[in-house]
Amino acid sequence: MSSADISETTVYDLPQWPRLRPRLTGKIDQTAIQPKQGAQPLIIEIADLHTDDPEDFEAAMHEVATLLAAGPGYLGHTVQRSIESPGRYVLIVRWETVEAHVEGFRQSDRFKTWVARLADHRKGALVEHFETVLTNDWRLDA
């Protein structure tokens, strides 16, 4: 298969598709997608960031990571770099609640330091909060 063919190929066209197809039968057990009793809610903050200086942005993210981690309700974060769009990153932060982010972090002195260090890399940043409605961690058979 040439590289020109790859863009036109989908997983359905692969000879191994029948083996890859998920083996889901019957009705979906709705209790499987409900949070466990007593579990903390999980809110995902996704920030779509664009920068003209990826090297400085990555250095800045390393420098300010502890500012996030020090906040109450912080559960962890990941920074993803786009493969197709140089200078585009997605910051994914896990919080216990929206309030932990908005009131606990954004209204703190840590946030002021965060903004000052990342000011050159926040052009057109879009930040939204998401909650989980479905998680699927199944693996495909070999």
Q: Which tops the pLDDT comparison, 30 or 71?
A: 71
Q: Do residues 80 and 111 lie in contact, with contact meaning Cβ atoms separated by under 8 Å?
A: no
CA-to-CA dists, residue 44 to 33, 80, 138, angstroms? 17, 14, 21
DSSP E strand boundaries for 51-87: 74-81
What pLDDT, on the 0 to 100 scale, is given for residue 59? Answer: 95
What are the extents of the domains in the chain? 51-89+116-132
Residues contacting 131, CB < 8 A, separation 6+: 41, 42, 43, 44
pLDDT digits (tens, 9 = 90+) for 18-68: 444 444 444 444 444 444 455 456 899 999 999 999 999 999 999 999 999
Mean pLDDT of 117-121: 89
- Written as one letter, the residue type at 127 is V
Exposed / middle / buried, residue 22 (Cβ in 10 Å: 0-12, 13-18, 19+) = exposed
pTM of structure: 0.66
Secondary structure class of 49 (helix, strand, coil): strand
